[in-house]
Chains A and B, each alone.
Chain A
Amino acid sequence: MFRSIVRLGNALSLSKVCPGRQHQRCALKYSTAAAERKKFYEDVSISQGEGGLFEINLDRRKLKTPGGKLFTVPNEALAIAVATEWDAQRETLKFYTMHMTTLCNTALDNPTQRDKDQMINAALKFLETDTVCYRVDEPHALVELQKNEWDPVLHWIENRYNVTIGSSSSILGPEIPEATKDTFRQHLTSYNFWSLTGLEYVITQLKSVVLSLGMIDRHLSVEQAVLLSRLEEEYQIRRWGNVEWAHDYDMYELRARTAAGALFVHLSSESSTVKRKLLQD
């Protein structure tokens, strides 16, 4: 029994091994500086543990976060998404493709010790340098493009939340009124910690609070939000040509991360019930 564990590679640090026990718990600290971990499991499954939380099982071992805590998620959909990521791995584990897992780990471990208020403040601060509010003066074609593509989203969010944001081409960016910030603060406070973690991640990826909220509120699709976020790049690509190993690579990575963030926010904040209506004769 012991020999098979040792064969899994010296990159795995085992803190607790109880030979003979039915379920072995091994800390998977994949923050260790191993180049690539080999895939050490065959089957991935999910199970429901205490408190109704879902856990991921790799063969018979329970998955743990890099911080050593048991990996738990609040609902089945999130667990299935994470399990699918682990199941998708082939000979080596490529953690940079496992975005849902990464987000769950961040929410569970909270390595930077953030609380809800800090995250809300950071999001509101980001609004001051929001991509869609920060306009260029030239070239003229890009100015027009920004106006045509970004103004509708700005109008939508101003209507939806009944706020004023505006755009600016000065180096200081737009002046965000306090009332706007208060409205958003109130809205963001209704998010739980996990959803805020996801939202913060999406804002960092898209470099825009407006686009993030637009996507989370289902006004924009992921592809649309990514396109709007990369508007200047798309403009330059159309002018000077596309470089697959840079442009497409970045675009797909941004899409994957943004999609993961959006899905994470939706799954962390949803609760669904099924109500069956009977047909009356």
Chain B
Amino acid sequence: MGAARSQHRAEMAALTSPLRVCRGILKELRAIQGPSYRQSLAYAYVMDQYRKNKVTGERYCRAQQEAHHASHTYLCLLASTRNHLALHNLYHGKGERRPEEVAGLVGLRLPTQPGGKGWEK
């Protein structure tokens, strides 16, 4: 499991290069906001941050590492929220069936009472 994990880590490092994370965030924003995502506040901020942190004189730049982790975290937030909502709508979104539908499931019909039941208006 340890070897698999370090291999997984190496894959993850390649998968989460800054460019991919940036593309991922933009994809999520487009999913949220549609074609006009380039006019959104989030788009402007993300692109600005990427530009600011692109060039550094240091070999290990702490600000760059922090920005990379933050962008990865934001991508995780957007993607997970979307997936969670999708699963929620898929499995938990329907709510309860009406009594007529439930009766129909087993081939029965609800009785009708002319004049309504005592407590109905």
Contact = CB atoms under 8 A, between A and B. Distances in A.
Interface string A186-212: 000000000000000000000000000
Contacts of A83: 41-42
A222 interface: yes
Nearest first, the 9 A-B pairs at minimum CB distance are: A259-B77, A255-B80, A256-B80, A252-B84, A245-B91, A259-B76, A222-B76, A252-B83, A88-B32
B2 A256 contact: no
B57 interface: yes
B101 interface: no
A222 B78 CA distance: 12
A221 B77 contact: no
A215 to B, nearest CB: 9
B76 A223 contact: yes
Contacts of B40: 84, 87
Q: Interface of chain B, helix or strand or loop or mixed?
A: helix
B87 A245 contact: yes
B89 to A, nearest CB: 10
B70 interface: yes
A259 B73 contact: yes
B119 interface: no
Contacts of B92: 245, 249
B83 to A, nearest CB: 4
Interface string A158-181: 000000000000000000000000
A209 to B, nearest CB: 19
Interface residues of A, number: 38
B74 to A, nearest CB: 6
Contacts of B12: 221, 223
Contacts of A218: 65-66, 69
B110 interface: no
A263 interface: yes
10 contacts: A87-B40, A145-B1, A148-B5, A221-B73, A222-B77, A252-B83, A253-B80, A259-B74, A266-B70, A266-B73
B81 A76 contact: no
B74 A263 contact: yes
Interface in B41-88: 41-42, 45, 52, 57, 63, 65-66, 69-70, 72-74, 76-77, 80-81, 83-85, 87-88
Interface string A245-257: 1001100110110
B87 A249 contact: yes
Contacts of A274: 52
A149 B5 contact: yes
Contacts of B73: 221-222, 259, 262-263, 266
A144 B5 CA distance: 14
A244 B69 CA distance: 28
Nearest to A85: B81
A134 to B, nearest CB: 19
A97 B80 CA distance: 10
B33 interface: yes
Contacts of A99: 77, 81
A218 B2 CA distance: 21
A116 interface: no
A89 B41 CA distance: 15
A97 B84 contact: yes
A249 B93 CA distance: 13
Nearest to A235: B1
Contacts of B88: 249
A20 to B, nearest CB: 30
B80 A252 contact: yes
